[in-house]
Structure 1
Amino acid sequence: MRSGMGALMRGVVTMAVALFLNVQANAAEVLREATIGEPPPLDVMVTTADVAAVIGRHIFETLYALDSTYSPRPLLAESDRVDEGGKTIVIKLRQGVLFHNGKELTAADVVASMKRWGQFGARGKLLMGNAVSVEATDRYEVTLKLSAPNGAWKTLIADVNGGLAIYPEEIVSKAGAQPIEQKDYIGTGPYKFKEWRPNRYVELEKFDRYSSRKEAGDGFAGARVANFDAIRFVPVPDVGTRVSGVQAGDYDYAEMISGDLFDQLSADKSIHVVRSNAPIFGLFFMNSKEGILKDNYKLRRAIQMALDKSQAQRVAFGPKGLWDAQGSIFPQGSFWYSTAGTEAYSQHDAKKAKELAKEAGYTGTPIRLLVSTNYQAHFDEATVFTRQLAEAGINVQMMVVDWATLLKMRAQSEQWDIYVTHHGFQPDPILLTFLNPTYPGWWDNPEINALRTELTNSSDQTARKAAWEKIQALFYEQVPAMKVGDAYTYDIASPKLKGLNPNGPAFWNVSAK
């Protein structure tokens, strides 16, 4: 009798604790996003991984931000002027902006961030490679002097993805090439870092002292209002689990859903489909540093010649409305759209590819293709291409790993010959990763270096467009990477979420019904 009473009391206590925890959870409004997997470190300055940028853009901010038309508008900056024909850039900062540690943002923080970005940032050398000096010329004024004009300077510093995120001087001045530690995840954004439980979640909490811009929110620009107490980013590698989780109410938002589910989910009233405004495009990077493909442009062209890109996109993305097999790096309607070199985009000629590979000295050595299943489209495209290349006598060995492992391995040139990723739409070609000589793939030779300088060191858009067309032609001649095609990806969300950002997952200005 006594033990039965004890069991009963323990049950009552357990129920009471569970009820208390549920009340606590309901009291705090938490948005839960299912991501494609565990992110790399959230030091967004030194990585271009989308999964890090999606989380990091809530913590860290930039001097400018891209609006819904992908034009840069002031964020931490208040105003700017350009002198000496574009060689001197003076940026005035907003006053009263606070970091998450309570310290006010000043020019010293921006200067220190620019110096580290220029030396170690994923995209920093694209601007800072020509920097003569950068200094604080007032408490809220930064002056950057360049050896040559840069027509894309404002766009280059308007995105956290590998970009000029602004960190406190005392943190960033001590940081080197290695990612900063979690305790130093301190920015000026509407949410601040709270905790990271590996393989469980990354949680951010609302920053109550956030200083928002007054303009209406537009893309990533304008006002940023935190309507949730916290955001929890949960790694969910399996796409089916991400979908069922939103349907069941376990997640409020899930990213990168496979194309074969598009029609079904579009008809599901318990799901809101969030289709991207701008296309991404798959990229198969060639190893330009070492291995069988180094400097062997003829073998690279043979590999591309064997492929039917439309078949790969059909398998990866499903309905025709979600993809477009076209070879221009930029989509039609963009200022940068060009057909230069695109006759080589998707020839699908196994016989000619086999002959060209033989001319290139290829004898059947396995070509190592590094791919992850976290992005289902990557794996689908790699599977289709491996089969098509086999028909041309080109032997591909797929190495399938998780995304976090791929990010580590792609930095090690001896580990792979080709790896699979994708690129988001960019408003300026200088932001394309394959144009960065330090980005894994390492396209770095006199021809591309000269054209990259021609593209960068001008503020005349007509001249820059002509330089870009020459670069795209060289892209198809030297094949540093292969474009698969344009794809309009989609995420899914609970219908209760309002104000979702069409430029990508960003949860300021978002609210629940």
Structure 2
Amino acid sequence: MKRSDVMARPGRWLRRGVLAAALLGAGLGAAGAQPAERPLRLVVNVGLQVLDPIVGTSFVTRNFAYMVFDTLVALDGKGEIRPQMLQGWTVSDDGLTYTFTLRPGLEWHDGTPVTAEDCVASLRRWGGRDSSGRRLLAATKELRAEAPDRFVLQLSRPFGGVLDALAKPSVHVPFMMPARIAGSTPPTEAVKEIMGSGPFLFQADQWVPGERATFRRNPRYKPRDEPADGLAGGKAVFIERAEMINISDPATRAAALQNGEVDYLEYAPLDFLPVLSRDRNLVIAKPGGIAQIMGGVALNHAQPPFNNLKVRQALQMALDQSEIVAVHGLPDGMFLPSCQSMTLCGTRYSSEAGGEALRDQSLERARQMLRDSGYNNERVVLLHPADSALINPMAMVVADRMKRIGLNVDQQTLDWATAAQRWLSREPVERGGWSAVPVIYTGFDMSDPLSNVGIGYNCTGTAPWLYCDEAMTPLLRRFEAEADPERRRAIMADINRQALLNVNFPLTGQFSSPAAWRRELQGVVDFGFPVLWNIRRAPR
């Protein structure tokens, strides 16, 4: 049976059995077992395994964190930076001193007040992990609390993206934590206590790693007195309970949404978009711009064979984006045949400089490049996250093309949670290490070069792929010091050219993958990833 035949009668009973099993596994089944109150049920793309947003690199950890933590500033729906936990800020005439003031009444989930000391400790911990944060702190002379509600960031040299860094919307987001936690936990170690000040309370005793996380409305949270707008504005919560669940099978996800067992899919299964789009009870999001997705292959630059630039260049030549993205069967307008911009095409820093040689990617050319590289048949351990509806089909094409050019591929199929843990390993492949991981990122992660996974972590040693290109360092330094948008775009062209030349993070294609939710959910903020504030459930 074709996947598009999800509503056909022959598969009905099998589908119902699979759906029942999945929902029981997520704690949602069994007649009479549900409480009288209906929780809002969000199906995330992969299971939640890591709770600390400074350690975790997955979207699901970011989604979790936006529910329980809060940020100093936030992007609205137009990409403008607005105060969130802050009342406001001032900047000195020379642009080197920023003074931030917290808005009154902020409390941690245990009832203690949020202070400037908490914010300073949180920023220091985030800056020890995140690419933008590291660069910001490297340009900082002093970061200190001046009063319980006020702190100062004094730069030692010009840094044009202070507010951009603080407003970073995706991995790794500068979420605030109590100083007693942030100040005592290294950024490479997960915090042992989840204590935020955000709109939801995490129910740690009900967490089933990889399957289900549950939340209650935070009665202490004081939303801003403004309409919700993107990640900014008033984060008012109108539902008492919410659940993040994992249903790995795409057909089961689609059926669960159509039948009303779940309310919201982070990503609608692409195979089922025609069916879901015809259902009047559903709303399909319309992602564009920075909400689009770019696929890529994270490479282990520290170990053979991808410590060899010529091997990386051979792989890049093999990754025909039109072939890889075609596996999703997307309609026109939802994908690009090719984009060689590390910051995504159609975003503010878009540039395809250096991509001219990749206009005509070819397996035959890639084979010859691999033969000329000195490749010695080293084993390539490819971690293949099969439970991700978006990564899985692209990963199969990537693996096939790697094998067809002559790489000795050991394709290890596993769930994303396991792949994410293995990805952090720095052991050689003989001791459980890895060589390559097909992944996806949104424009929220990629559109700013200082936070871009294939650019911003250059020579930092803090990301799993460990790339270090000495020629990139002065370009990034010029970009971070520059404040003028036009000059920044010119520098970005040089950065893109160098990133493609060094093959930091070979791209596999840009496309859209919309969310979907039940029409009875009113006030959904369509921002490109799920946020559960501002939502009311229409009466049935």
Instruction: Give the TM-score of the pair, scaled to structure 1.
Output: 0.90
Pairing 1:50–2:75 present: no
d(CA) in 2 for partners of 1:331, 1:293? 24
* Per-residue CA distance 1:408-449 (angstroms, 9 max, x = gap): 111113312211111111352212122213211122232122
d(CA) in 2 for partners of 1:488, 1:207? 33
1:264 Cα deviation (Å)? 1.9
Paired residue type of 2:374: G
SS at match of 2:498: helix
1:198 Cα deviation (Å)? 3.1
1:81 Cα deviation (Å)? 1.9
1:232 Cα deviation (Å)? 0.7
d(CA) in 2 for partners of 1:432, 1:332? 14
Do the aligned residues in 1 keep the contact of 2:381 with 2:435 (CA within 8 Å)?
A: yes
Question: CA 1:333/1:391 → structure 2, altered by over 3 Å: closer, same or farther?
Answer: closer
Structure 2 counterpart of 1:104: 113
SS at match of 1:269: coil
* Per-residue CA distance 1:151-188 (angstroms, 9 max, x = gap): 2221212236312111112222222231112xx21111
d(CA) in 2 for partners of 1:123, 1:396? 34
1:20 Cα deviation (Å)? 7.8
Residues 197-276 of structure 1: matches in 2 within 5 Å?
197-276=208-287
Structure 2 counterpart of 1:167: 177
RMSD: 2.0
Paired residue type of 1:170: R
1:332 Cα deviation (Å)? 4.5
Do the aligned residues in 1 keep the contact of 2:48 with 2:212 (CA within 8 Å)?
A: no
Question: CA 1:331/1:175 → structure 2, altered by over 3 Å: closer, same or farther?
Answer: closer
Paired residue type of 2:103: R
Residues 4-403 of structure 1: matches in 2 within 5 Å?
25-26=35-36, 28-83=37-92, 85-121=94-130, 123-158=132-167, 159=169, 161-176=171-186, 177-181=188-192, 184-195=193-204, 196-277=207-288, 278-294=291-307, 296-324=308-336, 325-345=338-358, 347-403=360-416
Paired residue type of 1:355: Q
Do the aligned residues in 1 keep the contact of 2:67 with 2:199 (CA within 8 Å)?
A: yes
From 503, 509, 521, give the equivalent of 1:479.
503
Paired residue type of 2:502: Q
d(CA) in 2 for partners of 1:406, 1:340? 32
Pairing 1:499–2:523 present: yes
Indicate the percent of aligned positions where both proteins have the same amino acid. Answer: 26
* Per-residue CA distance 1:322-366 (angstroms, 9 max, x = gap): 211322234444321212012234533222222211111024333
Question: CA 1:235/1:333 → structure 2, altered by over 3 Å: closer, same or farther?
Answer: closer
Q: Which has the larger radius of gyration?
A: 1
1:229 Cα deviation (Å)? 0.2
d(CA) in 2 for partners of 1:297, 1:352? 16
1:372 Cα deviation (Å)? 0.2
Structure 2 counterpart of 1:425: 443
SS at match of 1:406: helix
SS at match of 2:143: strand
* Per-residue CA distance 1:73-95 (angstroms, 9 max, x = gap): 11011111222633222111111
Do the aligned residues in 1 keep the contact of 2:48 with 2:209 (CA within 8 Å)?
A: no
d(CA) in 2 for partners of 1:126, 1:345? 31
Question: CA 1:476/1:511 → structure 2, altered by over 3 Å: closer, same or farther?
Answer: same
SS at match of 1:86: coil
Do the aligned residues in 1 keep the contact of 2:116 with 2:147 (CA within 8 Å)?
A: yes
What runs of 5+ residues in structure 2 fail to find an aligned partner?
Answer: 1-29
d(CA) in 2 for partners of 1:317, 1:218? 32
**Matched length:** 490
d(CA) in 2 for partners of 1:229, 1:344? 54
Question: CA 1:199/1:281 → structure 2, altered by over 3 Å: closer, same or farther?
Answer: closer
Paired residue type of 1:232: E
Instruction: Give the TM-score of the pair, scaled to structure 2.
Output: 0.86
Do the aligned residues in 2 keep the contact of 1:71 with 1:155 (CA within 8 Å)?
A: no
SS at match of 1:92: strand
Question: CA 1:233/1:104 → structure 2, altered by over 3 Å: closer, same or farther?
Answer: same
Do the aligned residues in 1 keep the contact of 2:119 with 2:179 (CA within 8 Å)?
A: yes
Greater shift, 89-98 or 59-68, is seen at 89-98
